[in-house]
Each structure stands twice: as structure tokens, then as C-alpha cells.
Amino acid sequence: MTSAPISAGPDDPSAVETSGRIPLLLLLGSALAWLLVSGLLALIGAIQAHTPEFLARCSVLNYGHVQALQETAFVYGWIANVGLALALWILGRLGGQPLRAGAWVVTGTLVWNFGVALGLVGIAAGDGTALPLLQMPAYVQPILLFAYAAIGVAGVLAWTGRRRQIMFAAQWYAVAALFLFPWMFSVAQVMLLWVPVHGVLQAITQGWFAQSLWTLWMAPLALAGAYYVVPKVTGRVLPGYELASLGFWCLLFIGGWTGGRHLIGGPAPVWISTIAIVTSTILLSHYLIVFINLRGAIGGPGTALKFISFGLAAYVLGGFVDALTSMRVVALTTQFTWFDEAQRQLAVYGGVSMMLFGTLYFALPRLTGRSWASPGLLRGHLALSVTGIALLVVSLGGAGLIQGRELNDAAKSFATIAADTRPWLIAAAGAQAILLLGNLLLAVNFLWTAGCCCCCCRPKAATEAFAS
């Protein structure tokens, strides 16, 4: 870990790319399909937030269901598929090995997406668990675990068969995300669905799982991509790279403890929220180190870096807002309001998703051997994503501050609060429409590019692309 992976290309790039092309394109295509589904659901939910009667007669799409469906499609559909594809691709490239067990990846991807689809049908039919980030019915969860294991085989082989003993930061994050998910996911299944713990312990366990899913899976998946792409594009050693391992272990060891900040003032033991406040502040050092390492992305060349630099800024800002809202004096106003949602969107969409977009824009031309079919669609996606996320976070944040202030004033009725936050929530719905449109552009561009690759692939194409 003495140098950044600027020269850590595979020994035979064409073999690496061609061996993984079909499985990884399948993962990426599924991810984009789920991204569109979740975007549509997010738009419906955002309209229902300010106009509650919208689709209210439809039991399948009542507000509670739409929230659960959207979150599931986004996390288990979009982030899981794209994150796994990019993590496998990075592990293959840095390991200098062609992707092995491709058939397992294809099988796992098909089963995983069947499981997610079944989970969404289950939630819509009323079998959901109503546990945030673990909404799918209990009967779907083992299917997902099996599918994940099948996809993970390729990750294990890529990591154990790597040609260099030294591991780079991108590999740490990719390996951590790949291998920790099954553990936290199965523990949560057992303790919340199969042999549920009693009473408030359910909320505490759920809080631990949700936070671990964020800090030990979603964030590392995105950071793996960023740590790989930034030095590749800028062609420079990452500044302060010697600090990177500290930032990594800080996220891993501290992250899981910060989940209790949502339980402030409630029936959970006070020590849980106090630990969460302290650890949220300690975790700031992780965000600072990530910023120091990746700051070269800001103002760097190419669209991939533009996505990643926006994602980096949102990720770091999200971490600071998280630490701030964990303080009791701030939580007094922001707890249980749209402000929490604004923070989540800033971190998960603005941070993680944007970094994943950036890595995807870097990876696909190398994977397919063709540059993106339409630079115009690419620029359109960037502009719409940046506008959409900024508008979404500002509008939800504004709604949250009004809601929080008025909730603390017992004289304000819920009808008054709904009326006062309505303009902000309408703006948030507009932001969701913008984001959906942007993602549609990405999906068209992806199909166009991948379709061209499948129609007229040439054996040398990948090598040329890598050389470029």
C-alpha cells in the first residue's frame, strides 16, 4: 500500500474484459432497469407526499407500500447490481486475472433479480416486513442470500487468485463490501425475521443492520470505484495515500456503531444514542481522509470524474450533516422530519449513486470495447443528475426544517404543517421527475452502447479501448 494503483493494469486487459463481458453487462443492465423502476416509484411517492389522495384508492400503491417498494428497488435492485458488477470488474483488473466462474455470476444475477422482483410483488401484496432496508418478505430473503453467494464466488476467485500480494485501496473497499454483506444480511434475517428478538430490541437490531448496510456495504462499493477511477484518469498518485488505510479501517470499525442516532429520546437505552453521537463525530475523520485522497477528482478531466467529484462532495457533506443531526440539540428539530430524508438522499443518491455512475461511465467503454454511443446523452445525464439532486436535497431539507419547527409547536396542527411544507414537497417531486429523466438518458445510452457491442464486437476492440 505504498503507491496508488495508477500502474496496476492487468497483464492481459483484453482477456480480463472479454471474460467478464456478458455476466457484468447482465448485472449492469439489471441495475439500470431497477434504477428506472425505483425512479418511477420515487416520483409516485413524492407526488403522494404533497397530494395524499394520489393513487390512494389502489391498495397496491398506497404511500407506505410505495416507500418500501422504492427503497427496495433502489438498494437491492440498483445499488446491489451495479455495485457488484463494478466491484468484480475492479477486482479482476487489479488482480490481473480474467473473470472466473462467469456462469455462477450469470446464474446468481438471474436468481437475485428474480428474488428482488418477487420481493416487490410480496411488498405490494402486503407481505412486507415494514423494517427499513429489510422490507422484502421473509420468504424472499434466503433466495437473495443464495444468489449473492453465487455472484460472490467470482469475487473470491478474483481476490484469492490475484497476481500481486499488495492490495490497493480500491480492492480493500471492494472486498470488504463483497464479503461483509452476507454476514450482516443473514444475522438481520435470523434476528428480525426467523427468530425475532423481543420488543425494542427489534428496533435496535434493525438500526444496527441499516447502518452496517450503509457503512459496510453501500459506501465501500462506491468508494471502491472512486479509488480505482480517480488515479487512473488523473494519472497521479493519490495525495495522502498513506492515510487511506486509516480512513478505511475507521469506516469499518466505527461505522456500525453510529446507527443509534435515530433512537434519540426514544425507548432504547440512552447509551446507544450517546455512542452513536460520539462515533458519528469520530467518523468525520474517515470523510476527511476520503476527501484528501480523492480531491484530485475535482476539476479533473472527463465525465466520469465530474460524476465522482460531485459524488465525493455529496458523500463528505452527507457525513458532516449526519454528525450534526446526531447531536441532541439539532435532532430536537430534525428528528422524524423530511430533513432526515434529505440527508439520506444526499448521502445515498448524491454520494454513493453518483460515484457509481462515474465508475460506470469509466468502466463500460473498457468492458465493451466501444466508447459511449452518445456524448450528448451523457452530458444530459450529468446535468439532470446534478440539478435533480441539488433541488431534491434543498427542497426536502427546507421542508424538514419547517416541519421540525412546527412539530415542536403544539399549537400547529398536522394540516397546517402539511400546508406549509407543500411547496417544498412539490419542488421535491419535480426533482424526482428530473432525476428519472436523467436516468432514462443513461439507460438509452447504455442500451445503445451495449447493443452496438453485442452486434459488432471485434476481438481487438477491448485492447484498443484499454490502450486509449
Partner 1 sequence: MKNGFLFFLGLFAALGLSWAGIVLGSNAQLGRLTPYYDANEGQAFPAPLPGVAAEGQLVYRDLNCAACHTQQVRRPDFGADQARGWGDRQSVARDYIFQSHVQLGESRIGPDLTNLGGRKPTAPDAGDLENLLYAGQGGMPAYAFLFERRKVLGQVSDQALQLTGRLRPARGYEVVPTRRAQELVAYLLSLNTVYDYPESRPAPAAPPQEGARK
Considering only residues 363 to 422 of the shown chain, the ones binding partner 1 according to CB under 8 A are 403, 407-410, 413-415, 417-418
Assess 459 for contact with partner 1 (CB under 8 A): no
**Burial tier of 459 (Cβ tally within 10 Å: 0-12, 13-18, 19+):** exposed
Closest contact distance (angstroms) between CB of 201 and partner 1 is 6
- Of 118 and 418, the one with the shorter C-beta distance to partner 1 is 418
- Of 415 and 456, the one with the shorter C-beta distance to partner 1 is 415
Tallying the residues shown for the chain, one arrives at 468
Q: Cα(145)–Cα(399) distance, rounded to whole angstroms?
A: 38
DSSP string, 417-445: HHHHHHHHHHHHHHHHHHHHHHHHHHHHH
Piece of the chain touching partner 1 by CB under 8 A; list 124-132, 141-149, 387-395, 436-444: 124-132
Grid-cell match 469475487, residue found: 155
State how far the alpha carbon of 250 is from the alpha carbons of 211, 213, 244, 315, 422, in Å.
14, 16, 10, 16, 40
Q: Binding residue for partner 1 (CB under 8 A) from 203, 429, 434, 441?
A: 203
Closest contact distance (angstroms) between CB of 165 and partner 1 is 5
- Of 111 and 425, the one with the shorter C-beta distance to partner 1 is 425
DSSP string, 118-132: HHHHHHHTT-----T
Q: Binding residue for partner 1 (CB under 8 A) from 14, 38, 109, 129?
A: 129
Assess 199 for contact with partner 1 (CB under 8 A): yes
Report the SS3 class of residue 461: helix
Piece of the chain touching partner 1 by CB under 8 A; list 10-18, 44-52, 100-108, 301-309: 44-52
> Cβ(264)–Cβ(331) under 8 Å?
yes
Closest contact distance (angstroms) between CB of 143 and partner 1 is 21
Grid-cell match 402539511, residue found: 418
Assess 166 for contact with partner 1 (CB under 8 A): yes
Q: Binding residue for partner 1 (CB under 8 A) from 116, 272, 364, 428?
A: 272
Q: Binding residue for partner 1 (CB under 8 A) from 142, 161, 266, 430?
A: 266
Closest contact distance (angstroms) between CB of 349 and partner 1 is 18
User: What residues contact 414, with CB distance under 8 A and at least 6 apart?
Assistant: none
Assess 341 for contact with partner 1 (CB under 8 A): yes
Piece of the chain touching partner 1 by CB under 8 A; list 79-87, 175-183, 232-240, 303-311: 175-183
DSSP string, 20-88: HHHHHHHHHHHHHHHHHHHHHHHHHHHHHHH-TTTTTT-GGG-HHHHHHHHHHIIIIIIIHHHHHHHHH
**Residues of span 94-123 touching partner 1 by CB under 8 A:** none
Assess 431 for contact with partner 1 (CB under 8 A): no
Q: Radius of gyration over alpha carbons of the chain, in Å?
A: 21
Assess 59 for contact with partner 1 (CB under 8 A): yes
**Burial tier of 58 (Cβ tally within 10 Å: 0-12, 13-18, 19+):** exposed
Q: Cα(283)–Cα(228) distance, rounded to whole angstroms?
A: 22
> Cβ(392)–Cβ(400) under 8 Å?
no
Q: Binding residue for partner 1 (CB under 8 A) from 146, 320, 336, 448?
A: 336
Q: Binding residue for partner 1 (CB under 8 A) from 93, 262, 295, 370?
A: 262
- Of 216 and 348, the one with the shorter C-beta distance to partner 1 is 216
**Residues of span 232-251 touching partner 1 by CB under 8 A:** 245, 249
Closest contact distance (angstroms) between CB of 22 and partner 1 is 29
Closest contact distance (angstroms) between CB of 184 and partner 1 is 6
Size of the site for partner 1 (CB under 8 A): 86
